[in-house]
């Protein structure tokens, strides 16, 4: 597929600056480029590449002002990342898998599959499971008893969705994710051993959710662990039992949320963050990577950092002083000596 | 199944306060409740719900004193969580899976299976493996060569138990856990490359252990990585080669223990904690979430926090000052100015 | 297999101190030992065991000077760990699996397999995949469309290598690893929802790489996520889209690298470390466990600690003062009182 700058600008609602007839056949990264490719400048850190890239077309945002000559034809758009998303879909290998049901899959006779569903080899679909139309259940995936899956859901190889859990429409569940494992709940016994608390709840994943590889989401003790509409979870995340995550919240890799905590809507959580259990976190909260949230957050749209997490800017200010602590320590000791000297001295002075 | 407060109090060794004949059919969370359900008040954070819940019966502990009217019939027990554990087992879907061995499983002819064993579709049981009676080997699980598994063990889909490892009785291994991967051991070479150190040891899991989804436990270089009786590991935990964990220790999600470290009995380890290798940690140690344990812990029953971890209360005290560091910084600089001024001043004063 | 100290010293380029005819049949850990075994003293922490071990032969390095009598025959070598690596290979169960292709595997007719390849039960090899000679594709592994795998690669059960990814020669990929999941890339929309950015790139793993259990490596948005020759990744690691890791870098468990970051050669990264995206890290960098690298590192061969990470020694010095902050706080307040008193005092003094 070859598309001209003019055609692409029209498709992306952008304007051409340069040769509108130059044609490209695939996207490229700005630092790699190549004739016949279209690249993009999103992060300003990469601006220098705009002047050296060999890409034929360069997507830029409204704020880009060239400080040097740019060889590529520019397409200027309001929202670079949105345009890239559309571009990659256009050029991406849209080889929508055919709706083949492998003879080497295990599908229980009481399971129901919608139209246009694919099931890969060695996938297992247990009794009473319901799979909506357009779903792609890839090889070696596991769909437990009475699981309900909406329409147009992609389940990658090795995903385990355990009994009674529910997945909405248009979700993407990446490889080796576990949904519906028992939560970590035990009653301590007098002899020091722990007695398992049965988990009779389930997990509910709403529409348009994407879940990264090797993430684990525990089922509720009772009721449901709930992942809201449009939530995006990265890889290797831990979601404890009875956690609830509000709509359009995004969480980066390796973060963990302990049991019964409720995260608000439109939060942005960095990687390797931890939340204690049984707290509520307000809508629009931002948590810096590696922070530990140990207390409820009531006020919406605030940023936090540290372990335990405090106000983001306050943490940075305290950390700036932390870095100077050895020097500060010496200064305090010197001050102490001076003050003690002065305290001894005045009498002599006044008596002199 | 409908049970009256009177019947349940008898079952749970509790006492009824209110109508002993009210009947319930299922457990509920206190904030959801519902007529015909039994709920519980464990964490005092949730006390307000005791006054608003619509559950028909409410389990409470010996310390609960109602400060407002409670509509539900109370069942008072000594140990709320223990009672909940028993209650959930009673109401839980105890559909013990039938002992069916799938024709679509691969079971090597030299493997031995006890009575009443289930093996799911596409499970693999390799040569010489021994599975004790009452085990449930679920779909797509992998049991390597010469692996020994005790009685009444549940192995969830996608679990990999690699060659020669050993699992005790009554263990539960959640989905996609890996037991017996090679440890991270390499000998540096003169050219900067690393030479793999073969791992000829194994993993031994003792009785009554539960292991959370996606956790990885490496085999020993020589000898055994050992998880003691009654240990409970949460999801996404890393256990290095030759680690040993004492009886009844519990470890929350995403923690990691580096090679050859020995953790004592009855320790409680928070989430996202890290331990360096080659140290011993005393019995009853408590580690706060996100801490990094960098040195041996000799004294039992102490609590730690921070990275590197120090005494729990000392960390909190230091962190309280950390939060005030910018203010402290200003104060020190002001003191310095004052002191220097005074040092210059006295002569003038005394000369005045 | 029984080997004498004399034979082993010859094999390991070492020298015998003691009885050269004593024979051993297997390796042991120094604290376990046992007659007829060979053990080793690598980490000086374990020196005491050299005097109590019941192993028949003990491997030691050039620096070991016995301070007490040692019962074992010593074999002294230049590089203990290198010798152990060779020893374990010699004694290890070198039962190289036979090149059997299971009839219960799914191998697409367009896939190509080299000579001497094993494929386990319920493994899936998709269309166009190419597997080099000597590979071991174990049970339940997944090899996607057009994946290329070099020679002598071991793929453990449950590994998912998704479409178009490429693996070099002599790699070892441990159980349940995911290679080629989509990166975490979304374009925010005006209504607060996120639009997925398609990932049309792939993952390239070079020769001699080892990847630990449950690790996840995302494919590039465009181009390739690249793991350099000889890199060793531990368990449960997260590698974001378009990350590049230089040759012979080693990364301990549960660390994560955000998108587009480039790590240099021969770096040593501790466990639970995090790197922000879009930075470069110089060759030979060392990062202490649990650190968070938030900025580029330009100067090679330096060590860092903290979150955000700073110079390793500076962090330790600052942390040493951090531990004394409560005391320092009291001292400052006392100084303040003294200084303010002195400031009030002099006039009185001088006026007296």
Which residues from C are below 8 Å from B160, CB to CB? 156-158, 175-176, 213
pLDDT of residue A349: 47
pLDDT tops 60 at residue B229: yes
pLDDT tops 50 at residue C91: yes
pLDDT of residue B347: 52
Residue among B213, B283, B284 with most chain A CBs within 10 A, to mutate: B213
> Cβ separation of A329 and C324 shorter than 8 Å?
yes
pLDDT tops 50 at residue C350: no
Query: Which chains border A (3 or more CB–CB pairs < 8 Å)?
Result: B, C
pLDDT tops 80 at residue A347: no
pLDDT of residue B351: 42
- Please name the member of B102, B265, B323 whose beta carbon is closest to the beta carbon of A314: B323
Element (H, E) at C68: none
Closest residue of chain A to B155, computed from CA coordinates: A181
Contact A216, A243 (CB under 8 A): no
- Report pLDDT digits (tens) over A72-101: 999 999 999 889 988 888 876 555 688 999
pTM: 0.92
Q: Residue A216 half-sphere exposure, CB side, CA atoms within 13 Å?
A: 31
> Cβ separation of B318 and C326 shorter than 8 Å?
yes
Which residues from B are below 8 Å from A203, CB to CB? none
pLDDT of residue A346: 52
Alpha-carbon distance of B341 to B349, in angstroms, equals 12
Which residues from A are below 8 Å from B342, CB to CB? 342
- Report pLDDT digits (tens) over C49-75: 999 999 999 999 999 999 999 999 999
Which two structure tokens, joined as six digits, stand for A17? 């600056």
The size of chain A, in residues, is 352
Q: Name the minimum distance, in Å, from the CA of A125 to any CA of chain C.
A: 16
- Please name the member of B174, B272, B343 whose beta carbon is closest to the beta carbon of A182: B174
Q: Name the minimum distance, in Å, from the CA of A210 to any CA of chain C.
A: 9
* Region of poorest pLDDT, from A124-138, A262-276, C16-30: C16-30
Residues 109-128 on A with a CB inside 8 Å of C are 120-122
pLDDT of residue B95: 57
Q: Name the minimum distance, in Å, from the CA of A187 to any CA of chain C.
A: 29
Q: Name the minimum distance, in Å, from the CA of A175 to any CA of chain B.
A: 11
Alpha-carbon distance of A293 to C100, in angstroms, equals 52
> Cβ separation of A314 and B329 shorter than 8 Å?
no
- Please name the member of B93, B176, B254 whose beta carbon is closest to the beta carbon of A256: B254
- Please name the member of C122, C214, C248 whose beta carbon is closest to the beta carbon of B106: C122
Contact of C45 with chain B, judged by CB distance below 8 Å, is answered with: yes
pLDDT of residue C48: 93
Nearest 5°: the CA angle A138, A141, A145 is 125
What strands, in cross-sheet order, belong to the sheet with C210-211? Answer: C118-119, C136-137, C154-155, C172-173, C210-211, C232-233, C250-251, C268-269, C286-287, C303-306, C309-311
pLDDT of residue A352: 40
Determine how many CB atoms are found less than 10 A away from the CB of residue A190: 7
Contact B126, B107 (CB under 8 A): no
pLDDT of residue B352: 40
Contact of A102 with chain C, judged by CB distance below 8 Å, is answered with: yes
pLDDT tops 80 at residue C316: yes
- Report pLDDT digits (tens) over B247-281: 999 999 999 999 999 999 999 999 999 999 999 99
pLDDT of residue C352: 40
- Report pLDDT digits (tens) over B36-79: 999 999 888 899 999 999 999 999 999 999 999 999 999 999 99
Kindly report the average pLDDT of chain B as a whole number. 94
DSSP letter for each residue of B268-323: EE-TT-EE-SS-EE-TT-EE-TT-EE-S-B-STT-EEEETTEEEHHHHHHHHHHHT
DSSP state of A45: G
Mean pLDDT calculated for residue range A44-60: 93
pLDDT of residue C97: 80
pLDDT of residue B343: 75
Kindly report the average pLDDT of chain A as a whole number. 94
> Cβ separation of A271 and C352 shorter than 8 Å?
no
Kindly report the average pLDDT of chain C as a whole number. 94
> Cβ separation of B45 and A278 shorter than 8 Å?
yes
Total CB pairs under 8 A between chain A and B: 198
Strands B118-119 and B136-137: parallel
Contact C239, C245 (CB under 8 A): yes
pLDDT of residue A26: 87
Which residues from C are below 8 Å from A212, CB to CB? 181, 184, 216
- Report pLDDT digits (tens) over A143-170: 999 999 999 999 999 999 999 999 999 9
Confidence of residue A345 (pLDDT cuts 50, 70, 90): low
Query: Which chains border C (3 or more CB–CB pairs < 8 Å)?
Result: A, B
Mean pLDDT calculated for residue range B192-200: 94
- Of C291, C216, B270, give the one whose Cα is nearest residue A234: C216
Q: Name the minimum distance, in Å, from the CA of A65 to any CA of chain C.
A: 22
Contacts of A133 (CB under 8 A, 6+ apart): A114, A115, A116, A117, A151, A152
- Please name the member of C91, C157, C332 whose beta carbon is closest to the beta carbon of B200: C91
pLDDT tops 90 at residue A298: yes
Mean pLDDT calculated for residue range B164-181: 98
Contact of A335 with chain C, judged by CB distance below 8 Å, is answered with: yes
pLDDT of residue C325: 97
Residues 251-270 on C with a CB inside 8 Å of B are 252-254, 265-266
Strands C73-76 and C15-17: antiparallel
- Please name the member of C120, C236, C248 whose beta carbon is closest to the beta carbon of B194: C248
pLDDT of residue A32: 86
- Please name the member of A184, A198, A278 whose beta carbon is closest to the beta carbon of B234: A184
pLDDT tops 60 at residue A351: no
**CATH numbers and ranges of domains, chain A:** 3-95 (3.40.1390.10), 106-313 (2.160.10.10)
pLDDT tops 50 at residue C164: yes
- Annotate A295-316 with three-state secondary structure: CCECCCCCEEECCCCEEHHHHH
Of chain A, the percentage scoring pLDDT greater than 90 comes to 86
Which residues from C are below 8 Å from B258, CB to CB? 252-253, 271
Alpha carbon separation from A142 to B19, B138, C87, C110, C256 (Å, rounded) = 46, 10, 42, 26, 27
Of chain B, the percentage scoring pLDDT greater than 70 comes to 96
> Cβ separation of A329 and C328 shorter than 8 Å?
yes
> Cβ separation of C325 and B314 shorter than 8 Å?
no
Could you tell me how far CA C247 lies from the centroid of its own chain?
A: 13
Which residues from A are below 8 Å from B235, CB to CB? 178, 181, 184, 216, 218, 238
pLDDT of residue C331: 93
């Amino acid at each position: 597929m070859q598309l001209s700058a003019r055609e692409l600008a029209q498709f992306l609602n952008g304007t051409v600056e340069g040769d509108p007839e130059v044609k490209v056949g695939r996207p490229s990264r700005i630092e790699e480029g190549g004739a016949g490719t279209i690249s993009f400048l999103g992060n300003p850190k990469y601006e220098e590449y705009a002047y050296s890239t060999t890409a034929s077309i360069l997507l830029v945002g409204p704020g880009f002002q060239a400080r040097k000559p740019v060889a590529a034809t520019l397409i200027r758009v309001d929202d670079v990342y949105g345009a890239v998303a559309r571009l990659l879909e256009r050029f991406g290998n849209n080889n929508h898998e055919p709706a083949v049901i492998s003879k080497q899959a295990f599908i229980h006779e009481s399971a129901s599959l919608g139209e246009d569903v694919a099931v890969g080899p060695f996938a297992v679909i247990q009794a009473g499971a319901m799979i909506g139309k357009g779903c792609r259940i890839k090889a070696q995936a596991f769909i437990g008893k009475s699981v309900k899956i909406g329409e147009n859901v992609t389940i990658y190889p090795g995903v385990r969705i355990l009994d009674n859990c529910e997945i909405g429409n248009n979700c993407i569940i990446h490889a080796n994710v576990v949904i519906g494992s028992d939560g970590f709940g035990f009653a301590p016994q007098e002899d020091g051993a722990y007695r398992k608390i049965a988990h009779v709840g389930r997990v509910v994943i709403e529409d348009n959710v994407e879940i990264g590889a090797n993430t684990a989401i525990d089922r509720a003790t009772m009721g449901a662990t709930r992942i809201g509409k449009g939530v995006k979870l990265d890889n290797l995340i831990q979601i404890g039992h009875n956690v609830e995550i509000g709509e359009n919240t995004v969480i980066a890799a390796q973060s963990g949320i302990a049991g019964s905590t409720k995260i608000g809507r439109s939060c942005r959580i960095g990687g390797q963050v931890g939340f204690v259990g049984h707290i509520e976190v307000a809508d629009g909260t931002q948590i810096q990577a590696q922070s530990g949230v140990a207390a409820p957050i009531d006020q919406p749209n605030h940023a936090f950092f540290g372990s335990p997490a405090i106000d983001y800017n306050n943490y940075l200010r305290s950390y700036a002083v932390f870095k100077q602590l050895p020097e500060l320590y010496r200064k305090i000791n010197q001050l102490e000596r001076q003050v003690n000297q002065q305290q001894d001295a005045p009498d002599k002075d006044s008596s002199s």
